[in-house]
Amino acid sequence: MSISPFSIVPFSREHPKAGFCSGSEILDRYFAERAGQDIKRNLARCFVAIDNEQKNIAGFYTLSAAQIPLMNLPEQLAKKMPRYDAVPASRLGRLAIDKHYQGRGLGQALIADALKKSARDSMAVYAMLVDAKDDNAAAFYRHHGFIPCTGKPQTLFLPLKTLSKL
């Protein structure tokens, strides 16, 4: 699918967030009530996909700094690392697509956008982490190559070196 009908931009007060409905009450409430506060407190950046024609918010995601303890990397990856306690990461904390726009490749496009932002030259980031809210979300991330953390199957990561495959 071409994502040209959508623009991915930082979320701001001007965007019409009322009516956004992904079907996940927790994520919809987060977006309506807490995303703005998290941005103000520098706890997360939030980006939205805008339908350029309808001007609706079609999806959103949040991105923050994070780290992955070495003990949560699968052994074959951990053994290639120096003996640090943790490796640097970004965290795709929340991702949701409005029901009207699901199944059109937008979730995948937002993951790719978050990976690109994570891979900027100004900071070293080994992988992007995601917190899957349930088994269905975990399956979505596994479909895109994310690897479950050892001992934390709902937390998954994608090494940034795989970026070119998406």
Ligand X SMILES: CC(C)(COP(=O)(O)OP(=O)(O)OC[C@H]1O[C@@H](n2cnc3c(N)ncnc32)[C@H](O)[C@@H]1OP(=O)(O)O)[C@@H](O)C(=O)NCCC(=O)NCCS
The residues assigned a catalytic role are 141
Angle CA(127)–CA(128)–CA(129) in degrees, nearest 5? 115
Q: How far apart are CA 155 and CA 66, in angstroms?
A: 12
Q: Does residue 96 touch ligand X according to CB under 6 A?
A: yes
Candidates 50, 106, 115, 160: give the one binding ligand X (CB under 6 A): 106
How many Å apart are CA 33 and CA 48, to the nearest integer?
15
- Residue with Cβ nearer ligand X (53 or 85): 53
**Is 132 a residue that touches ligand X (CB under 6 A)?**
yes
Token pair in block for residue 139: 């399956």
Q: Pick from 41, 136, 164, 165: which binds ligand X (CB under 6 A)?
A: 136
- Out of 17, 104, 117, 152, the only residue in the binding site for ligand X (CB under 6 A) is 104
> Which CB sits closer to ligand X, 71 or 100?
100
Name the strands in the sheet holding 127-131, side by side, starting at the edge strand that comes first in the sequence: 6-10, 45-51, 57-69, 86-97, 127-131, 152-159, 147-149
Find the DSSP H helices in 33-159.
Answer: 35-40, 75-78, 106-118, 135-143
Using rule CB under 6 A, residue 64 touches ligand X:
no
Q: Is 95 one of the binding residues for ligand X (CB under 6 A)? A: yes
Site for ligand X in 17-36 (CB under 6 A): 22-24, 27
Given candidates 140, 149, 156, 158, which one binds ligand X under the rule CB under 6 A? 140
Size of the site for ligand X (CB under 6 A): 21
- List the Cα angle 72/76/78 in 5-degree steps: 45
Residues that bind ligand X (CB under 6 A): 22-24, 27, 95-97, 102-108, 132-133, 136-137, 139-140, 143
